[in-house]
């Protein structure tokens, strides 16, 4: 599983699972905190639809953490101020980068998180569809 997909699942529907995974790694391995969770600002890029040019729409607050497990580095970056989640994401990233044995047991968890995210997205789409106006059925 790719880093972006893994991070999206953990942030959107798997916060508790992320904390559990990080705790599991911390009990088995030495985690060195290179950069403690700290706040920062990140510029947000958007693509203008007519000319397809990129521009910056604004800034958002993020929390960033960097850790090291053995020889593997990990980065955790999350929107808003969430130091625990940022550190957990960094630990999980380092575990994947270092190919730790605990990672193999997480695939089932990520499959469940993926299904949960799809279900939530389907429910949001259904709620939007309920309020959508059907112009072809309206009479003049």
pLDDT in tens, 125-140: 998 888 877 777 666 5
Provide the phi-psi class of 10: left if phi over 0, else alpha when psi is between -120 and 50, else beta. alpha
Instruction: State if pTM tops 0.85.
Output: no
* Residue 120 CB contacts under 8 Å (≥ 6 apart), including other chains: 12, 13
Query: What total number of domains does the chain contain?
Result: 1
* 134 assigned to some structural domain: no
pLDDT of residue 137: 66
In a domain, 100, yes or no: yes
Cα 53 vs. chain centroid, distance in angstroms?
26
Confidence at residue 133, expressed as pLDDT on a 0 to 100 scale: 74
Instruction: State residue 50's pLDDT score.
Output: 86
| 62 domain-assigned | yes
Domain membership flag for residue 139: no
Label residues 81-101 b or e (16+ Cβ within 10 Å = b).
Answer: ebbbbbbbbbbbbbbbbbebe
Share of the chain above pLDDT 90, in %: 77
Q: What length is written for the chain?
A: 140
Q: Is residue 30 very low, low, confident or very high in pLDDT (cuts 50, 70, 90)?
A: very high
pLDDT-wise least confident of 31-45, 71-85, 107-121, 124-138: 124-138
Which structural domain, as residue segments, surrounds residue 44?
3-129
- 40-78 per-position pLDDT tens digit: 999 999 998 888 899 899 999 999 999 999 999 999 999
Q: Is residue 107 part of a domain?
A: yes
32 in any annotated domain: yes
Q: Two tokens at 43?
A: 């510029």
- Let me know if residue 64 belongs to a domain: yes
**Residue 137 domain-assigned?**
no
């Amino acid at each position: 599983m790719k880093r972006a997909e893994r991070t999206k699942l953990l942030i959107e529907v798997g916060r508790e699972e992320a904390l559990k995974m990080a705790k599991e790694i911390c009990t088995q391995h030495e985690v060195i905190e290179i950069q403690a969770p700290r706040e920062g600002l990140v510029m947000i890029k958007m693509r203008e639809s007519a000319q397809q040019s990129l521009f910056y729409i604004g800034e958002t607050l993020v929390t960033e953490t960097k850790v090291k497990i053995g020889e593997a580095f990990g980065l955790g970056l999350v929107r808003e101020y969430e130091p625990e989640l940022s550190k957990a994401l960094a630990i999980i990233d380092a575990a994947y980068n270092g190919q730790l044995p605990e990672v193999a047991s997480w695939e089932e968890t990520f499959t469940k998180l993926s299904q949960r995210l799809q279900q939530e997205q389907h429910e949001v789409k259904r709620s939007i569809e309920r309020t959508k106006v059907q112009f072809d059925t309206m009479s003049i």
